[in-house]
């Protein structure tokens, strides 16, 4: 098939695509309290869904609103339907931005903002790819449907609701990861470690509160503790924290006095996606280690020490007793995403991504054995099994072919720790929009998308629609 016309149409979208991603990024579509029957994830997510569906309708597509849980955009019909699954919700902005998280600022050929790569930018790439195929008049054997979800970051209840109302497409991809093709996604466990402490009465350095993180799947960049100074002066505490900094590379610890002979300790780290915790610096783990070395805590002291020892700055789960690895999907990762203490109960929320070989029952059992001596409880909050679509599968082969032909780059399959919508639809893998060698910017400060690579993503997706829905890939 001659793709010159299709590619020319994609190139013509450049300025419009830039303006649209800036518009989409301006909506802070972080999940909020339900706001009526058609806004189950809050007013901002609802506003983002309305905006996306209006744009799709303007392009001449049929659109549906599935009660605010998701929307879809359809083109054509056939014996089967090719699906593209993207999401419009985003994680909170977090700290450490040099650019406005909702500003869509352009700097050095990049558009900055929360959602530019995860996942509003890729969603727009898929939408414009559909539009290009439509305007180029490319014949398709199957229908094409872009599903825009609203709860990917906090549990994927949107796709479960969607599947309860409508039949899912037969095959396709989720543009929510990286190229070439993600055919393996690790399993996931959200684990809560907790204990009621009995308070801080009688402690020489009582801990009154701990706070770090908002989502388990984000490495927290800031963690705070309010402690009692006791006989210490603030200057004494600052000196002790400086000594702890010197003993641990990368630690950044500051303190400030608050009322009632108390001080606030702040640990500063670096955000990263919870699936790749080694790329960040976990402020919560840093704070736990600092508190342990200070000897802080009354009823919380044993729990703080335990969490510092088995979690701390570790990202493999080895000290918790859950580490495992295999050749196909790699090693388990463990992220301490949320840390809380209110003077009564201490808790640590972990996001663990495990390889194909992982056994949830065994891992949970080992975690229980590890933390039980400190009287801590282990609770499984949620989990999902690994996803593996073999490299020989028609969809994988087709997407690898398209990627190589459009880019000229080597095409291969890879495994990731991140979880995408791929597991919510049969015969589905993750495909783009980040390229090999690019920094993973999901869930971090100064998230951005490169403008030229964004256009290349549209081109790749358009070719993928033409090849897969056009029936050009043989079984």
Does residue 170 contact residue 80 with C-beta atoms inside 8 Å? Answer: yes
* Residues forming beta bridges with residue 63, ordered by sequence position: 73
- Residues 6+ positions from 302 with CB-CB distance below 8 Å: 374, 375
Residue 184 CA from chain centroid, whole number: 16
In a 10 Å sphere around its CB, with 0-12 CB exposed, 13-18 middle and 19+ buried, how is residue 316 labelled? middle
Q: How far apart are the C-alpha atoms of 385 and 358, rounded to whole Å?
A: 9
What single DSSP character describes residue 139?
Answer: -
Q: What angle do CA 199, 204, 208 make, to 5 degrees?
A: 40
Q: How far apart are the C-alpha atoms of 178 and 113, rounded to whole Å?
A: 18
**Is 452 tagged catalytic?**
no
Q: How far apart are the C-alpha atoms of 24 and 210, rounded to whole Å?
A: 35
Distances (CA, A) of 279 to 117, 248, 442, 444: 17, 17, 11, 10
**Is 152 tagged catalytic?**
yes
Helix (H) / strand (E) element for 225: namely strand 222-228
Q: What share of the chain is helix, strand, coil (3-state, %, to 5)?
A: 30, 25, 40
Annotated active-site residue in 72, 152, 153, 178: 152
Annotated active-site residue in 44, 55, 72, 89: 89
Q: Catalytic amino acids?
A: 89, 152
């Amino acid at each position: 098939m001659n793709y010159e016309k299709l590619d020319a149409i994609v190139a013509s979208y450049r300025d419009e695509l830039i303006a649209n991603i800036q518009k989409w990024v301006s909506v802070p579509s972080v999940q909020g309290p339900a706001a009526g029957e058609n806004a189950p994830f809050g007013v901002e997510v609802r506003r983002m869904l309305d905006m996306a569906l209006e744009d799709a309708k303007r392009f001449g597509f049929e659109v549906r609103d599935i009660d605010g849980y998701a929307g879809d955009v359809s083109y054509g019909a056939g014996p089967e339907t090719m699906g593209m699954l993207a999401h419009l919700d985003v994680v909170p902005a977090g700290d450490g931005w040099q650019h406005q998280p909702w500003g869509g600022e352009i700097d050095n050929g990049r558009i900055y903002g929360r959602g530019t790569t995860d996942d509003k930018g890729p969603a727009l790439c898929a939408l414009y790819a559909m539009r290009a195929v439509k305007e180029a008049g490319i014949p398709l054997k199957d229908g094409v449907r872009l599903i825009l979800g609203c709860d990917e970051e906090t549990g994927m209840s949107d796709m479960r609701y969607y599947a309860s109302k409508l039949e899912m497409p037969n095959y396709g991809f989720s543009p929510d990861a990286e190229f070439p093709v993600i055919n393996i996604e690790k399993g996931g466990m959200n684990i809560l470690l907790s204990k009621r402490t009995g308070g801080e009465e009688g402690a020489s350095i009582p801990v009154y509160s701990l706070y770090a993180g908002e989502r388990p799947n984000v490495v927290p960049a800031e963690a705070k503790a309010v402690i009692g100074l006791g006989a210490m002066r603030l200057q004494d505490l600052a000196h002790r924290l400086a000594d702890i900094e010197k003993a641990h590379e990368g630690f950044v610890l500051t303190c400030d006095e608050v009322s009632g002979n108390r001080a606030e300790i702040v640990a500063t780290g670096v955000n990263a996606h919870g699936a790749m915790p080694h790329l960040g610096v976990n402020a919560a783990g840093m704070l736990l280690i600092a508190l342990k070395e200070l000897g802080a805590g009354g009823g919380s002291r044993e729990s703080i020490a335990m969490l510092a020892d088995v979690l701390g700055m570790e990202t493999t789960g080895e000290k918790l007793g859950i580490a495992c690895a295999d050749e196909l999907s790699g090693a388990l990762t463990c992220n301490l995403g949320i840390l809380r203490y209110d003077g009564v109960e201490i808790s640590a929320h972990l996001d663990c991504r495990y390889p194909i070989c992982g056994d949830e029952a065994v891992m949970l059992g080992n975690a229980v054995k590890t933390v039980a001596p400190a009287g801590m409880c282990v609770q499984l909050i949620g989990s999902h099994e690994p996803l593996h679509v073999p490299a020989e599968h028609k969809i994988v082969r087709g997407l690898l072919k398209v990627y190589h032909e459009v880019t000229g780059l080597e095409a291969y399959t890879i495994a990731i720790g991140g979880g995408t919508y791929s597991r919510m639809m049969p015969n589905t893998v993750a495909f783009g929009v980040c390229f090999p060698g690019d920094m993973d910017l999901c869930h971090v400060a100064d998230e951005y998308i490169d403008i030229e690579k964004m256009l290349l993503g549209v081109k790749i997706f358009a070719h993928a629609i033409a090849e897969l829905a056009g029936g050009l890939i043989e079984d």
